[in-house]
A and B are shown apart, each in its own frame.
Chain A
Amino acid sequence: MDITKLSAQVNLDDFNPATEDEKEYMVQMRPSSTFFKDSVKRLLKNKVATVCFFIIILITLAAILVPIFWPYSYDQMLGMTPGKPVDNSFNDLKPFEYGRSEIRRMEAGESVIPHIFGTDSQGRDYFIRVVYGTRISLAVGFFASIIVLIIGMTIGSIAGYAGGKVDLIIMRIVDIIYSLPDMLMVILLSSVLKVVMEGALDGTVLAKIGSNIISLFIVFGVLYWVSMARLIRGQILSLREQEYVLASQAAGAKGKWIILKHLIPNCFSVIIISTALQIPSAIFTESYLSFLGLGVNAPMPSLGSLASDALNGISSYPYRLVIPALVISLIVLSLNLFGDGLRDAFDPKLDT
């Protein structure tokens, strides 16, 4: 239809239904993003936290995989062969030195895996002991945090949801445990539990883990749940006033359902942050105890016990102390920085 530019007649084409192309042009949809995805995106933007995360992954993988293919094991005394006198040339080797029989084998053309960090006073390959110690320390830190998480979450959510007398009693207990000097109690309890557990564990599956680690877990379970419980209780106290809880109650939901399906999922970020920060503190405590001789059972190494053993020969072999010391510091530092990054990413409201 031809019209003059100045006429007041309307263009009827403008009133046709829009085509698919035109519709698509108008609609600008972004894929929906969940809270978790958003947080991960924020976390990846934080360079320090990302680097720390990769360091942790690298150390963890090394601690798990290296013992599988490494030819020496953590408790194998290289100078000991059944039916022969002990070969002392394997004891106290410096890094990249070899024992007498190994030199003979190398002269014969065989290749021998070098002792990267040398051997200790009993002729055990020090590198694998450090790797194994890292594995133990990481495992203890991880499982101790899980125990703390489960106990703290259960008690905290019950206290927060139930309120009233239950809450009052639980929180008074929490207050008392919280103000106990934790290190002293940890040392005391683990030194006694160690003795008690030794007899009780004989012949069970748990005997393999060792009485010391079990008692460490118990001590953690008894003492360290309180801060987690406090945190979760605080969260739940504010969450349970929300409308959706009321709606759920009106629909006939029981307390357990509301806690598990509504309240705990909404505490997710708090839980994940404090668990992440619990791991380095558990590793720290374990190494502290091992250093005092209350940690893992010999001959099993942990980073703390390696450092403690190294003190005896410190003037001749200082690197035996420096290596586990560096590994502990690296693990604790990167876990802490990663935890801080997690906190910033998962709790944007928190401004610290």
Chain B
Amino acid sequence: MNTKTLMYIVKRIFLAIVTIWVVITVTFFVMHAVPGGPFTGEKAVTESVKAAMEAKYGLDKPLGVQYLTYLKDVVTKFEFGPSLKQRGRTVNDIIADGMKTSVRIGLIAAVIALACGVILGSIAALRRNKLIDRIIMIITTAFVSMPSFIMGSLLLILFAIKLGIFPANGAARNGLVLPVITLSLYPMAYITRLTRSSMLEVLGQDYIRTAKAKGVSGMKIIFGHALKNSLIPVITYFGPMLAGITTGSLVVEQIFAVPGIGRAFVNSITGRDYPLVMGTTIVLATLIVIMNLVGDILYKVVDPRITLE
């Protein structure tokens, strides 16, 4: 690793930190720009009760002070305060609860997408322009252009309602099967196409021809030479893929009623639970930024030929 790469990584980490700070700031001020305080929707309360509640949550202080307190709590203690709608629970509790489920389905979906995508992509590349290649390409094109919420709903109709194989409710037994499939289909299709095109490129390289000329067996060429080099673009897609799965989970968890962080986020927006909105936004955004950061750094480290900017 040379100094130039190192400089790039440092710069990239700095940008990520600034981005997270911008997210926190934007979220905070946007949520406080909403007309009507968080207690306006409640039962009519007397002025003194309202003042007491505002004092309890620190809402009587000037906005700048509130912002600094919030920033300090988030950065140093990783604390997002109490939830306004779910009494007695802090935002941290809700996020921790949701994360357990979300991380599980997200990781399983990522592993499935990666495994199936690489295998299907290699098959398509090795059987180029044969029937199986055509079938794989048509199916993946369809999957790539279908929004996740449509994919999820169609799977729900087919497997949960028509066939009744899996439950429609994510909290039930085997309930996470359909959400995982939904989340994995788009990245799987994308990885298949990525693997196919990079595999085709690698197979046309001189060193593959040399290996063939030396009499290396077909299997050894594929696994020893071609696959390793054609996986570079796939590795670099890993960060964006996890980020995409995170965003996809917002609707997928909604469709299948999975008790994850994505659903907590959407419900907090419709329920105007401001601290929860801020907390989930910041946590999800930080996750996405970190994943993209890791993806970019991998990009640079795996293939030093790539120059960014």
Chain A interface residues (CB < 8 Å from chain B): 175-176, 179-181, 183-185, 187-189, 191-192, 195-196, 199, 284, 287-288, 291-294, 304, 307-308, 310-311, 314-315, 318, 321-322, 325, 328-329, 332-333, 336
Contact = CB atoms under 8 A, between A and B. Distances in A.
Given A287-B147, A329-B145, A183 B247 contact: yes
Q: Give the secondary structure class of B's interface.
A: helix
Contacts of A325: 150, 153-154
Given A292-B254, A333-B142, 14 more contacts: A176-B15, A183-B247, A185-B23, A189-B30, A195-B35, A196-B34, A288-B149, A292-B251, A292-B269, A307-B150, A307-B153, A308-B149, A321-B154, A325-B150
B129 interface: no
Interface stretch (B75-83, B85-93, B216-224, B281-289): B281-289
B145 A318 contact: no
A322 B150 CA distance: 8
B18 A311 contact: no
B157 A314 contact: yes
B84 to A, nearest CB: 16
B250 A183 contact: yes
B251 A291 contact: yes
B30 A195 contact: no
B269 A185 contact: no
B48 interface: no
B266 interface: yes
A288 B151 CA distance: 12
Given A184-B247, A189-B30, A291-B251, A318 B161 contact: yes
Chain B interface size, as a band, is 35 or more
Residue among A184, A314, A322, A333 with most chain B CB within 10 A: A184
Contacts of B270: 293
A283 B277 CA distance: 25
A291 B149 contact: yes
A196 B33 contact: yes
Given A180-B285, A199-B35, A328-B150, A314 B254 contact: no
Nearest to B246: A181
B150 A184 contact: no
B145 A332 contact: yes
A179 B285 CA distance: 10
